[in-house]
Amino acid sequence: MQEKNGLPDSFPVVGIGASAGGLEAFMELLHALPEHTGMAFVLVQHLDRRHDSKLADVLAKSTRMPVLEAAHGLAVQPDHVYVIAPDTVLTLSADGSLQTEARGPGPGLHLPINHFFESLAVRRTSAAIGVVLSGTGADGAMGLAEIKAAGGITFAQDEASAKFNGMPQAAVQSGCVDFVLSPAQIAAEIARVGRHPYLKATPDEEAAAAPVEQGDEERFRLVLSLLRAAHGVDFSAYRDTTIRRRILRRAMLREGNLDGYLKRLKNDRDELDALYQDILINVTRFFREAEVFETLKQRVFPEILAAKQGDAPVRIWVPGCSTGQEAYSLGIALLEFLDDKPVHPIIQIFATDRRWCMDTAVSGR
């Protein structure tokens, strides 16, 4: 695999999640894809852990691309298809190879699609593409949120073509899906956007500069002015790289270039609102950045407990909490910290976000 600046060549990787009814959908998608897209495709399907899989052999009949079963350490290459093996968990590593590990023996919830999508978002950022096809349950929805927050592109199969609509519908309801299409239409859209310059992985967001063409500085400024006029928010003070890439992402999806996109924004309030939501999208999960919670237990919570007076509750405010995982993570971490302490105070957690406010009181054990 070619490398640039010590990083794997940043061709796009398409992660595709499927469950019940997903095999037919994936075969249709593969059949509609050109042989040479410059992208790699990784299928993560819910498989029976007790039986060997012939999935790679079956899918090979639908495409001229090589179809391989994922193996530990296998380097991902463009114009190849990889399928998860039974009874495994699959991720993408920093060097661009597939990593497999045995699925745990326990009866707990198994979400292999989310697991792979999350690694894809981290390793490929804006060169990540996520697709959720037919299936039951909600696996894949949270993973798509990670991909979109990293600057990638997200798809879900439409209700009319999905044999089982649970997974695609859960993805759509998450608010993180860019396109809701049939498998053949998804293939056509992937082929269209796949070679766009935007789809270039940038693991270091601080160091990565969004591609800027001559005259784009003025266009960025005008886009921000339109957003400020429509929503009363001045994004010019936000992190420049992130804002530029979010704008370029929408421009690539809708018009292909920033000039055409600016013209569209001037006359399309729905698209202006969609861009606003895209810029503000935030990914959240339980115990994100685990080292932060360990620091809270070791340094912050002891000081709070030492300073608490009498029966006063411990109050925590979590701003910008999105769907609330941070608030619950803090509550769990605090309860764990208090587990061996003689005093169990009342805990009040105030969690707020730009769209809603939640006031949750969690009583100690």
Catalytic residues, by residue number, are: 19, 46, 139
Neighbours of 141 (CB within 10 A): 27
Q: What CA–CA distance (Å, rounded) separates 83 from 359? A: 44
Q: What CA–CA distance (Å, rounded) separates 251 from 279? A: 13
Cα angle value 226/229/231 (rounded, 5°): 100
Cα 234–chain centre separation? 26
Compute and round to an integer the Cα radius of gyration of the chain.
22
The H or E element that residue 192 is part of is: helix 183-193
Token reading at 207: 């160091």
Taking Cα atoms as reference points, which of 358, 283, 288, 281 lies closest to residue 330? 288
Q: What CA–CA distance (Å, rounded) separates 98 from 167? A: 24
Token reading at 211: 């591609």
Cα 258–chain centre separation? 24
Q: What CA–CA distance (Å, rounded) separates 57 from 27? A: 12
